[in-house]
């Protein structure tokens, strides 16, 4: 078994507390997944990623050997982008390195997207046929072709625990007819993706080896020689899981048709795609709520590319199990930090701190007095403002650590509340969300346009 999903408790709101077991470890859900576009969560080293956030309850990795009690459990699962790794350094290079886990020295679960979103948002001169998409690299203009089969082959070479079907991402806004036609192509491509995965899933680089980059070679002086022993590690016999992606734009009837069609194909998990592309938040919420009704309750459900801390909290409470977004790291690199309105109340509204502002210049306090991250534990707003104003790379790192911690802390609190049956929504939460939307307006549009690039 390469994916197991066990729901432990369900809240009246639909939110559920569950465990997702994957070849490289168990993930406590609902979970936020930091985005590591080019096999790096920008500006944050892997050893730091393993320690940020709070201690995760119920996770075997919550008390790693030899780590300080002040360390958190870190990110449980991260993303990498197929399009970017295919272009640079190339999926065959990563296959020869043993897969993306070994290549980047990250031994926890990973997920790769199909490359479709980036092909449609970043690449130039696309030509779409029923067979696939021809496009030119945004890096050097070279010509490439992605079909569902090729996307699967690249994702198998990368070897993430979860991979995604190749789909067409329709532009926004799109007419009902255009969205319906695109959805038809997406469904045909989902079938072809699935067929290729079933036939080739044994070809993942780690399928016949052990796990980590350091643990599997024969010991010095042992009688064993030659290649590492086959089928010897904890990964033997396991393979990647493939998720289907529900499309259908902003049309409820198409979303329903798409969900039903994909459920017929029987995937181990389902994503809701094509959202957070510039539509009003009420529409995003409506599409998620309706689509969740048509997806199986015993399988993981993933909303791609969302969102703000208050959004991921809201969607988790509605029953979404997995989410990813470049926002915490991208905002961090722009000097935008998420804090609680009342630092002592971690359920209070999310507000934005712009570290660039002059009034931080001599503020010796932390970003967020209630935050337990290593940045807030050590550095002042005055110092972080100085780093940002001077263009020092450490500023991007420290800001990203805080924002990622903020997201992981939010999800750990939500998991605790879902497990304990706490009912969800704070008073006036919606009004606060809207004001945050307005505050971030311009930045949000920028992120929506290019979120795939991290």
Shortest spacing between CB 215 and Zn ion, in angstroms: 33
Among 373, 396, 408, 418, binds Zn ion (CB under 5 A): 373
Judging by DSSP bridges, how do beta strands 78-80 and 110-112 pair with one another? parallel
The answer to whether 108 touches 97, Cβ cutoff 8 Å, is: no
CB nearer to Zn ion: pick between 353 and 424? 353
Kindly give, in sequence order, each residue whose CB lies less than 8 Å from that of residue 136, ignoring residues fewer than 6 positions away: 123, 124, 125, 142, 143, 144
Find the binding residues for Zn ion in span 383-402 (CB under 5 A): 402
Q: At what angle do helices 429-450 and 281-294 cross, to 10 degrees?
A: 90
CB nearer to Zn ion: pick between 295 and 331? 331
Helices then strands, counting H and E runs in the chain, come out as 15, 16
Write down the catalytic residue from 161, 321, 324, 368: 324
CB nearer to Zn ion: pick between 5 and 407? 407
3-state helix, strand, coil in the chain (%, to 5): 40, 15, 45
> What phi and psi, each to the nearest 5 degrees, are found at residue 112?
-115, 145
Among 371, 414, 447, 452, binds Zn ion (CB under 5 A): 371
- Give the C-alpha distances (Å, rounded to integers) separating 191 from 146, 262, 364: 15, 9, 57
Binding span for Zn ion by CB under 5 A among 210-218, 234-242, 343-351, 374-382: 374-382
Alpha helices by DSSP H, 201-326:
252-265, 281-294, 309-318
Shortest spacing between CB 294 and Zn ion, in angstroms: 39
- Which position has the token pair 């337990």? 372
Asked if 113 is an active-site residue, the reply is yes
Shortest spacing between CB 54 and Zn ion, in angstroms: 11
Shortest spacing between CB 373 and Zn ion, in angstroms: 3
Alpha helices by DSSP H, 105-242:
116-121, 148-158, 176-200
Find the binding residues for Zn ion in span 65-94 (CB under 5 A): none
Binding span for Zn ion by CB under 5 A among 84-92, 119-127, 220-228, 369-377: 369-377
Q: How far apart are CA 101 and CA 279, in angstroms?
A: 35
CB nearer to Zn ion: pick between 147 and 403? 403
Q: Does 381 bind Zn ion (CB under 5 A)?
A: no
CB nearer to Zn ion: pick between 195 and 372? 372
Cα dihedral 93→99→102→108 (10° resolution): 150
Among 376, 404, 411, 424, binds Zn ion (CB under 5 A): 376
Q: How far apart are CA 75 and CA 52, in angstroms?
A: 7
Write down the catalytic residue from 113, 167, 310, 368: 113
Site size toward Zn ion (CB under 5 A) is 5
The answer to whether 333 touches 403, Cβ cutoff 8 Å, is: no
Shortest spacing between CB 385 and Zn ion, in angstroms: 15
CB nearer to Zn ion: pick between 408 and 418? 408
Q: Does 355 bind Zn ion (CB under 5 A)?
A: no
Q: Does 238 bind Zn ion (CB under 5 A)?
A: no
Binding span for Zn ion by CB under 5 A among 202-210, 231-239, 287-295, 366-374: 366-374
Shortest spacing between CB 365 and Zn ion, in angstroms: 12
Q: Which positions are catalytic?
A: 113, 324
By the criterion CB under 5 A, which residues form the site for Zn ion?
Answer: 371, 373, 375-376, 402
């Amino acid at each position: 078994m390469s994916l197991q999903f066990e729901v432990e408790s369900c809240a009246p709101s639909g939110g559920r507390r569950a465990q997702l077991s994957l070849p490289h470890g168990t993930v406590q859900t609902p979970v936020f997944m930091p985005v590591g576009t080019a096999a790096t969560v920008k500006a944050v080293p892997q050893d730091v990623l393993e320690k940020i956030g709070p201690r995760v309850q119920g996770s075997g990795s919550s008390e790693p050997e030899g780590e300080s009690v002040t360390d958190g459990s870190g990110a449980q699962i991260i993303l990498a982008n197929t399009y970017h790794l295919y272009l640079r350094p190339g999926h065959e290079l990563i296959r020869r390195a043993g897969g993306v886990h070994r290549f980047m020295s990250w031994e926890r679960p990973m997920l790769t997207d199909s490359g479709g979103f980036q092909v449609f948002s970043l690449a130039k001169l696309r030509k779409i046929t029923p067979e696939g998409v021809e496009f030119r690299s945004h890096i050097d203009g070279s010509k490439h072709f992605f079909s569902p089969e090729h996307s699967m082959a690249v994702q198998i070479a990368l070897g993430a625990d979860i991979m995604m079907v190749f789909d067409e991402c329709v532009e926004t806004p799109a007419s009902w007819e255009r969205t319906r036609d695109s959805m038809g192509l997406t469904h045909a491509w989902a079938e072809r993706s699935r067929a290729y995965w079933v036939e080739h899933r044994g070809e993942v680089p780690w399928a016949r080896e052990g796990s980590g980059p350091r643990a599997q070679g024969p010991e010095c002086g042992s009688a064993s020689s030659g290649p590492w022993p086959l089928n010897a590690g904890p990964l033997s016999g396991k393979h990647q899981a493939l998720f289907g992606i529900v499309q259908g734009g902003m049309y409820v009837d198409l979303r329903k048709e798409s969900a039903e069609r994909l459920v017929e194909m029987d995937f181990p998990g389902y994503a809701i795609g094509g959202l957070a592309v510039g539509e009003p938040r009420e529409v995003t919420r409506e599409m998620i709520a309706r689509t969740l009704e048509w997806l199986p309750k015993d399988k993981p459900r993933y909303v791609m590319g969302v969102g703000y801390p208050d959004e991921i909290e809201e969607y988790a409470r509605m029953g979404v199990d997995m989410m990813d977004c470049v926002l915490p790291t991208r905002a961090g690199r722009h000097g935008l930090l998420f804090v609680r309105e009342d630092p002592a109340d971690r359920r209070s509204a999310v507000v934005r701190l712009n570290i660039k502002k002059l009034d931080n210049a001599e503020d010796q306090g932390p970003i967020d007095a209630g935050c337990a991250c290593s940045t807030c534990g050590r550095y002042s707003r005055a110092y972080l403002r100085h780093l940002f104003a001077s263009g020092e790379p450490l500023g991007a790192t420290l800001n990203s650590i805080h924002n990622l911690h903020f997201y992981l802390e939010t999800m750990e609190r939500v998991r605790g509340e879902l497990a304990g049956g706490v009912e969800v929504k704070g008073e006036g939460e919606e009004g606060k969300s809207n004001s945050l939307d307005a505050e971030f307006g311009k930045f949000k549009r920028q992120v929506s346009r290019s979120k795939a690039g991290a």
